[in-house]
Amino acid sequence: MTQKLFEPIAMGNIQLKNRIALAPMTRGRAGEKRIPNDLMAQYYYQRASAGLLITEATVISEQGNGWIDSPGIYTDEMVEGWRKVTQKLKSTDTPIFLQLWHCGRASHSDFHNGQLPVSASAVKLNGDQIHTPKGKRSYETPQALTADGIEAIIQDYQMAAINAKSAGFSGVEVHAANGYLINQFLDSKTNLRNDQYGGSIENKYRFLKEVLEVILNVWSKDQVGVRLSPNGIFNDMGSQDFRETFLYVAKQLNTLDLGYLHIMDGLAFGFHEKGDPMTLAEFKNVYKGLIMGNCGYTKDDAEDRILNSNADLAAFGRPYISNPDLVERLKNNWPLTPFEDMSLWYTPGPEGYTDYTPYNS
């Protein structure tokens, strides 16, 4: 098999040295104040042999929070913290995109001084309990956003995009996957609205459309990506019309000429079983720009998707936790270090985060 994974590729005006991306993964090292730090800078620097780095999901506002110790991008201190990361990467030739995040209903009032989380509609997330600053809690029925509330969040996305540019990022990825707020507007399971943001697929897409409009006023189109999870069950998602919905979304995104479309086509996080899983080939038929595939890939999975022209880039998540030199290991067929203790994925400090060593070091 050829090793096309390791060939360079252009993403608009951005040159990538290979086709491997560090997938966004929540790691919970930003502390209670959600300010990125030197430890996080070291983590991304260790993984800079990737063609593209995508940060962990980063909340756009206080309202967007829903995960303990995840970073934000809505205060000056957070911007300065992220600048430590981007400055450390200046000595590499690796672009880094900030993933913009709003948890929506996948949150709890403990994060919001007693205020309920928000969503497209008042539909409760059925699932395991959520970890909050006050301990494990059951999910709550969220507040359905008003039109004014939606407009305020769109402005939060715009400010987050401005802050990301100020922090020195190469671009931004809009998190519209995994059952978080934008996904809650796209999915008919969670969007029961009967106004301009609900009902038809066109209306359910409107929120993402308006978010992208304000972000594209800040960033050039090749500096913006979008992430979708059409097959995903994470955070209690999945609707019967998923195929129709996500093909429509991809067709609309195709008109924007974005840097890339990031699609979680794998089933590593579960499958909602509302029909046959969607494939990258389906998206490639309607989306003509760069497609990044992701979700539980092996090297062979990634190579197969690229060789078959169904994907242009491949993102790796969990293997990157314990293999900071993943690109080198894949290229040379060196063995991967397994992640042996999942309890360390989200804990404070370097253990299970920056203490993995390169091969043969």
pLDDT in tens, 221-275: 999 999 999 999 999 999 999 999 999 999 999 999 999 999 999 888 788 889 9
Average pLDDT score over the chain: 96
β-partners of residue 198 are none
Specify the 3-state DSSP secondary structure of 243.
helix
How far out from the chain centre does Cα 131 lie?
20
* pLDDT(125) > 80: yes
Distance, CA of 52 to CA of 23 (rounded, Å): 9
Distance, CA of 216 to CA of 200 (rounded, Å): 25
In this structure, the strands spanning 143-144 and 118-119 are parallel
Number of C-beta neighbours around residue 76 at 10 A:
9
Place of tokens 């038929």: 285
Residues whose CB is less than 8 angstroms from the CB of residue 152 and which lie 6 or more positions away in sequence, other chains included: none
Q: Once rounded to an integer, what is the mean pLDDT over residues 180-206?
A: 98
Specify the 3-state DSSP secondary structure of 97.
strand
- CATH 3.40.605.10 correct for 4-344: no
Distance, CA of 131 to CA of 356 (rounded, Å): 26
Where would I find the beta strands (DSSP E) of 76-201?
96-101, 118-119, 130-132, 135-137, 143-144, 171-175
Specify the 3-state DSSP secondary structure of 187.
coil
- Long-range Cβ contact pairs of 334-340 (< 8 A, separation 24 or more): 334/359, 334/360, 335/359
Distance, CA of 233 to CA of 274 (rounded, Å): 10
In this prediction, residue 306 has a pLDDT band, given cuts at 50, 70 and 90, of very high
Of the given ranges (141-155, 229-243, 303-317, 330-344), which has the lowest mean pLDDT? 330-344
Q: Note the maximum CA span of the chain.
A: 59
Q: Are 125 and 139 in contact (CB under 8 A)?
A: yes
Q: How many CA atoms lie within 13 A of 91 on its CB side?
A: 9
Query: What pTM does this model have?
Result: 0.97
Q: How many CA atoms lie within 13 A of 170 on its CB side?
A: 25
Point out the residues that are catalytic. Answer: 180
Question: For residues 302, 304, 307 and 313, what is the CA-based torsion angle, rounded to 10 degrees?
Answer: -20
In this prediction, residue 332 has a pLDDT band, given cuts at 50, 70 and 90, of very high
Q: How confident is the model at residue 193, as a pLDDT?
A: 98
In this predicted model, what pLDDT tens digit does every residue of 65-107 receive, in sequence order? 999 999 999 999 999 999 999 999 999 989 999 999 999 999 9
Q: Are 11 and 259 in contact (CB under 8 A)?
A: yes
Distance, CA of 178 to CA of 171 (rounded, Å): 21
The alpha carbon dihedral of 120, 126, 128, 129 has a sign of: positive
